[in-house]
Structure 1
Amino acid sequence: MRIRTTSGSVGRRRRILALVISAMAFLVIGTPAASAHGTIVDPASRAYHCWQAWGDDHTNPAMQQEDPMCWQAFQANPDTMWNWMSALRDGLGGNFQARTPDGQLCSNGLTRNDSLNNPGHWKTTNVGSNFSMRLYDQASHGADFFRVYVSKNGFDPTTQRLGWGDLDFIMQTGSYPPANNITLNVQTSGYRGHHIVFTIWQASHLDQAYMWCSDVNFG
């Protein structure tokens, strides 16, 4: 005997299926945030600045004129900003330079975040020769170490992509216990104007490396 299916029951099944698919998509999209870590929030990394400044207003056309570098980043891939805390790479074994090509440092070698490598007038944070950096780590995994670099005098962040040869090594820290907030004290000399502070965070729980560019203005 054939069981007849009414149009109403078909419609209900389709609605239920759509809800299930939506729920599965939400879980997949939400996964990076659930396993996320953090970034340098002061002076803000490029993705964090764009999310902080425009996350609630990312469709505002005024961004194109007021903050063109964030505009191009949002146009390229909004997920770069939504997942500012998840720009990690696994298993580098400390071979940061060998595994990260020149011109891809600000994206941590991640193709999806390539817009962060583009030169231009990124918004800067004013700092002195000695300044503090703050990492926010929502997963509280701690650090094996941080390495901090500053772009060399003569390097122009508005026209050049960052390469390893463009960096002055400033310091490497020791380890840090798990915490939401970690502060680094950085001492420099001889820098003026727009520079990039490039930071590597080697997380403690696994071999996970994070790399970011923070645009600063040395006063």
Structure 2
Amino acid sequence: MTARRKAAGIAIVGIAPLALTALAASPAAAHGSMTDPVSRVSACYAEGPENPRSAACKAAVAAGGSQALYDWNAVRDGNAGGASQEKIPDGKLCSGGDDKYKGLDLPRADWPSSKMQAGNHTFHYKATAPHKGYFALYLTKADYDPTKPLKWSDLESKPFTKVTDPTLTNGEYVFDGKVPARSGRHLIYSIWQRSDSPEAFYTCSDVVFGKDSGGAGAGSSAAPAPAASAPTDTQIAAGADKSTVEHHGHGDDDAHTHSDPAPSAGADDPALGGGAPEGNAPHTDGSSTPVDGHRLAETGGDSSTGPIAIGAAAALAAGAALLFATTRRRAARQRG
């Protein structure tokens, strides 16, 4: 074999791994948001990103644009690693510290809200790309004032509910928790920390205890806020083509998402109440229920991953073929 043929073979062999890398590194779907009680971003997306109905959602779009609502399922920090309280500054909890979602941080007493009562509650978290990990839910303190920027000190120091690997049912994580007693308008803050990646997701859900449907905390006389509604599957599908969410490798290449989990990041973090779930038995059945009709979402992929990856691989293959053909022509000329 001539030196030129060897070089061509080496080039082609070298390109093959690149094609495989392109398959593995393709963009992946985002992960989800709380739907019961409805998160701010979910409620505003359900109203319509271009023309939301409520004053609060209109203000959120005016502050951060409509794209943040199309990307409703990606309020996240890709490198949280169980240290959310250290990484996200006061006043930016609802955006997860991401300026893209700054409209969600607006201090207002008229965000669309969900009715809530003390005691047992079943929570729902829409998962567009499920992963193993834990959910920690915090409730604001009795003196919470929604007209002021939300600070970590406004939340109780420990989660009232923490559950690891809850059951995935019809594309939603479903788990129970015992909600403490409150009066008037409050907020439930959720942290979903993955155990297969440092990535974490955040939601702010505005809730109202008692008969009052609005107000700036207990005893307030502020105007009632509209009821929050979660986006339907039809609405989610309709806006999917306008989503720009990608993960760029934040742990999504882990093919063992639904294997036995590694210890949860931050499991011993005092801010998350230690490691044991409070009031919830962990579900470790490794549920792999398909989401939107496919299982790629289990590791962060979605139906768009295939075409993108195939296109990248095809381009690399075409380049390899061209290189090989050029090398053969040169070798033929030299032999002639």
Match of residue 74 from structure 1: 61
1:203 to partner: Cα distance = 2.5
Native 8 Å contact 2:91 2:151 kept in 1: yes
User: What is the rounded CA distance, in whole Å, between the counterparts of 2:48 and 2:80 in structure 1?
Assistant: 32
Aligned partner of 2:125: which letter? Answer: L
User: What is the rounded CA distance, in whole Å, between the counterparts of 1:140 and 1:171 in structure 2?
Assistant: 19
Match of residue 122 from structure 1: 111
Native 8 Å contact 1:201 1:210 kept in 2: yes
1:193 to partner: Cα distance = 1.2
Match of residue 183 from structure 2: 192
**Larger relative strand fraction:** 1
The 1:137–1:151 alpha-carbon spacing in structure 2 relative to 1, beyond 3 Å, is: same
Q: CA RMSD in A?
A: 1.9
User: What is the rounded CA distance, in whole Å, between the counterparts of 1:193 and 1:156 in structure 2?
Assistant: 10
Q: Which has the larger radius of gyration?
A: 2
1:178 to partner: Cα distance = 6.0
Aligned partner of 2:175: which letter? Answer: L
Moved more, 160-169 or 199-208: 199-208
Please point out which of 146, 155, 166 is paired with 2:154.
166
1:53 to partner: Cα distance = 1.9
1:73 to partner: Cα distance = 1.1
Kindly report structure 1 stretches of 4+ aligned residues shifted beyond 6 Å.
Answer: none
1:87 to partner: Cα distance = 1.6
User: Number of residues paired by the alignment?
Assistant: 179
1:171 to partner: Cα distance = 2.5
Please point out which of 133, 136, 139 is paired with 1:150.
139
The 5-angstrom pairing of residues 1-219 of structure 1 reads: 34-55=28-49, 58-59=50-51, 63=53, 67-76=54-63, 77-120=65-108, 121-130=110-119, 131-141=121-131, 143-157=132-146, 159-168=147-156, 169=158, 170-176=160-166, 180-219=171-210
Native 8 Å contact 1:124 1:216 kept in 2: yes
Normalised by the length of structure 1, the TM-score is 0.76
Percent identical: 29
Aligned partner of 2:51: which letter? Answer: T
Normalised by the length of structure 2, the TM-score is 0.50
Native 8 Å contact 1:73 1:80 kept in 2: no
User: What is the rounded CA distance, in whole Å, between the counterparts of 1:167 and 1:117 in structure 2?
Assistant: 15
1:206 to partner: Cα distance = 2.1
Task: Give deviations 1:153-195, integer Å, cap 9, x for gaps.
Answer: 11111x1111111101312212336662111212123201110
User: What is the rounded CA distance, in whole Å, between the counterparts of 2:80 and 2:51 in structure 1?
Assistant: 36
> Per the alignment, in what secondary structure is the counterpart of residue 160 of structure 1?
coil
The 1:178–1:134 alpha-carbon spacing in structure 2 relative to 1, beyond 3 Å, is: closer
Aligned partner of 1:191: which letter? Answer: R
Native 8 Å contact 1:106 1:212 kept in 2: yes
Match of residue 28 from structure 1: none
Aligned partner of 2:198: which letter? Answer: D
